[in-house]
Chains A and B, each alone.
Chain A
Amino acid sequence: MADAVISKPLAQPGAANQVAGIVVKAPPRELEREPMVRNQRSIGWISDAIAGVAEGKTPRWWWYAFIPSVIMMTACFSMILYLVSVGVGVWGPGHPVMWGWAIVNFVWWIGIGHAGTLISAILFLLRQKWRTSINRAAEAMTIFAVMCAGIFPVIHIGRVWFGWWLFPIPNGNDIWPQFRSPLMWDVFAVSTYFTVSVLFWYMGLIPDLAVMRDRAKNKIRKFAYGLFSLGWTGSNRHWSNYEKAYLILAGLSTPLVLSVHSIVSLDFSVSQLPGWHTTIFPPYFVAGAVFSGFGMVLSLLIPLRRVLRLEDIITLRHVELMCKVTLATGSIVGYAYAMEFFIAWYSGNPYERYAFINRATGHYAWAYLTMITCNVMVPQLFWFKKIRTKMLVVFILSILVNIGMWFERFVIVVISLHRDFMPSNWGYFRPTWVDILTFLGTFGLFFTFFLLFLRFVPLIAISEVKGVTPQADPHHPLGGAKGGHH
């Protein structure tokens, strides 16, 4: 009997899955909003549509995406093996540019992660209910992006086998990590960020893994999902503690995410180098991180909502709202670029002025121009509703945002280093094929994990999406309330 209700495959739009026979009096026109879940879908439909993605036969497109990803991931690990066995000389960095792509990639990937935490934590505290449709996938993106990021600082140290000296573990020399260095703060910020992101993500998953357990058709799935759902029953006494813990985790993740990119920026700004030594860095890095992260969320979810037919849950409104966040953060980034130039002029310091003039007009002007085009001009297109509602255009623009943000980190790291105080310290940095393949390989790592996530775990928070529908509101006619809307 229960099976008849549960085992419906991924449902198509149609009257059969809608809550029938209940007329809801519309609010006044000016208060009307597009609902979170379109077409008045029933609560059961939400389970079927989302959990259905991780059930049944593996679709062909998944393999077409998965196999190249695994190949790329293998390339990444082969490059790392080559680097470790030969030495950091296989990379481009050398005097005077001693920090090359490794740090650019590290900062870029970490920044990508920030949108996931912003969506899951900050938008939760701000009671932005639209976050429920996208938070799970965005948090998964955060975790995998931080994994990709974490590789680089470890492999760039040269003697990788001493990587554990970064942690306060007693070693043979009896020397401890130096807490007066921002690089040490970074170790704590990034490892905490990764751990807390995993905790937050897993806690959100517990009720949804219970959904998967109760739908499971074979013993292995039932056992695996049963194990990881920890015996969740949906008890209200449990929900009460769960919601409080979720709120606290959101409250802890908010200062965490703001601190992570601030501390990453301190790696630069605590030094004395013109172009790095600026107080604007922490807020500017955080805005840039959220900007690039939203670019990545858009690049991931626009194709997914279509391929998985989830347009009723990740609606046009969700995409539009994400475009608006991208526009806002992109404008902050543009303002920060302008302010950096102003302060360079206002400081009266010739080295500082030179660093910025060289940035815009020197040998790396092509990188600066790419950055300005993609980060300052492209997001301004999101002012127009016509552009925000064209999925293909938004998809392309979101990729440009990601490219632009990678170049921002390139501009900061490489251009600032390539010409400092003395002409004897001038040079030109070029990456090697190992640099390029390692970076491209991290996309393989990222997509391998992301595709596995899609295949085994509900990609949208099922219980949270159910909770924002009118059917879930005991004071709404669709939730069974008598006597109309109040």
Chain B
Amino acid sequence: MAGTANPYGIVAEFDNPADTMHAAGKVRDAGFRKWDVFTPFPVHGMDKAMGLKNSKVGWFSFLGGVTGYTCGMLMSWWMNAVDYPIVVGGKPMFSPFSAFPPSYELTILLGSFGSLFGMLFLNRLPRLYHPLLKNRRFALATHDRFFIVIETADPKYSETETRKLLESLGSRHIEVVEE
């Protein structure tokens, strides 16, 4: 399949997580930028081997949580103390204590939406098309194989040199995938 008109990247297959992680460390050290590792489960230590920074999902959850708590408090106050106050058993129209449970639940609700949608946003998902998903062998990435993919868009990519590097790292099967 080499020499396709519009190559997306070079795909190297590995058998086990240790070899993949070792190879990922070398690819990182070689200075590649547009590349990724594909595994059937999260491999611990792979973020470090790839040189990834801590995920930013937490900020989205935090933003959601703060919004939820503020909305809960403001809603209880405005509805029960401003817009339609009703005296119930001599209790204060607004108290942070009785407004706390719904605000607490809204904190969790919007915080959870923040983390799920934050994760999807950071991963640019949902994505209905991906060149790798056309490749039949790549389907094993969700089964029991490990793949390192270096995109042709990477400035350091070279048809021959990159292939040589991946071969030297112990990949058993290397192919170029079309866009």
Contacts and interface: CB of A to CB of B under 8 A. Distances in A.
B40 A196 contact: no
Q: Which of A2, A475, A480 has the most C-beta atoms of chain B within 10 angstroms of its own C-beta?
A: A480
Nearest to B46: A236
Q: Which of B24, B43, B106 has the most C-beta atoms of chain A within 10 angstroms of its own C-beta?
A: B43
Q: Which of A44, A210, A241 has the most C-beta atoms of chain B within 10 angstroms of its own C-beta?
A: A241
Interface string A196-232: 1001101100010011011100000000000000111
A199 B143 contact: no
A179 interface: yes
A1 B88 contact: no
Nearest to A195: B109
A178 interface: yes
Contacts of B104: 255, 259
B29 interface: no
Contacts, number: 231
A185 B100 CA distance: 9
A466 interface: yes
Given A175-B84, A241-B119, A245-B119, A188 B47 contact: no
Contacts of B80: 176, 178-180
A256 B68 CA distance: 14
Q: Which of A42, A43, A266 has the most C-beta atoms of chain B within 10 angstroms of its own C-beta?
A: A43
Contacts of B102: 179, 184-185, 188
B111 interface: yes
A9 to B, nearest CB: 15
A230 B127 contact: yes
Q: Which of B20, B79, B112 has the most C-beta atoms of chain A within 10 angstroms of its own C-beta?
A: B112
Contacts of A232: 125, 142
Interface in A265-306: 266
Contacts of A57: none
A415 B175 CA distance: 73
B96 to A, nearest CB: 11
A170 B150 CA distance: 55
B52 to A, nearest CB: 5
A244 interface: yes
Contact of B112 (A47, A214, A252, A266): A252
A248 B79 contact: no
Contact of B88 (A178, A185, A235, A473): A178
Contacts of A185: 101-102, 105
A94 interface: no
B39 A234 contact: yes
Given A210-B142, A463-B40, A249 B105 contact: no
Interface string A377-390: 00000000000000
A60 interface: no
Contacts of A463: 40-42, 142
Contact of B52 (A230, A237, A245): A237
B153 interface: no
Nearest to A473: B17
A106 B50 CA distance: 49
B63 interface: no
Contacts of B137: 1-2
B95 interface: yes
A428 B95 CA distance: 39
A266 B97 CA distance: 13
Interface string B17-32: 1111100100000000
Given A196-B108, A248-B61, A474-B43, A214 B119 contact: no
Interface stretch (B2-10, B128-136, B155-163): B128-136
Interface in B83-133: 83-84, 86, 88, 91, 95, 98-99, 101-102, 104-106, 108-109, 111-113, 115-116, 118-120, 122-123, 125-130, 132-133
A217 B95 CA distance: 59
A199 B113 contact: yes
B70 interface: no
B141 interface: yes
A259 B139 contact: no
Given A214-B143, A233-B132, A241-B122, A249 B41 contact: no
A6 B140 contact: yes
Contacts of B111: 248, 252
B139 A6 contact: yes
A238 B123 contact: yes
Interface of B: 15-21, 24, 36-47, 50, 52, 54-58, 61, 65, 75-76, 79-80, 83-84, 86, 88, 91, 95, 98-99, 101-102, 104-106, 108-109, 111-113, 115-116, 118-120, 122-123, 125-130, 132-133, 136-137, 139-144
Given A1-B136, A255-B104, A463-B41, 5 more contacts: A181-B88, A185-B105, A249-B112, A252-B65, A253-B112
13 contacts: A5-B144, A6-B143, A44-B144, A177-B79, A210-B142, A211-B142, A233-B130, A239-B39, A244-B119, A245-B61, A245-B119, A248-B58, A463-B42
Interface of A: 1-2, 5-6, 42-44, 47, 168, 174-182, 184-185, 188-189, 192, 195-196, 199-200, 202-203, 207, 210-211, 213-215, 230-245, 248-249, 252-253, 255-256, 259, 263, 266, 463-464, 466-467, 471-475, 479-482
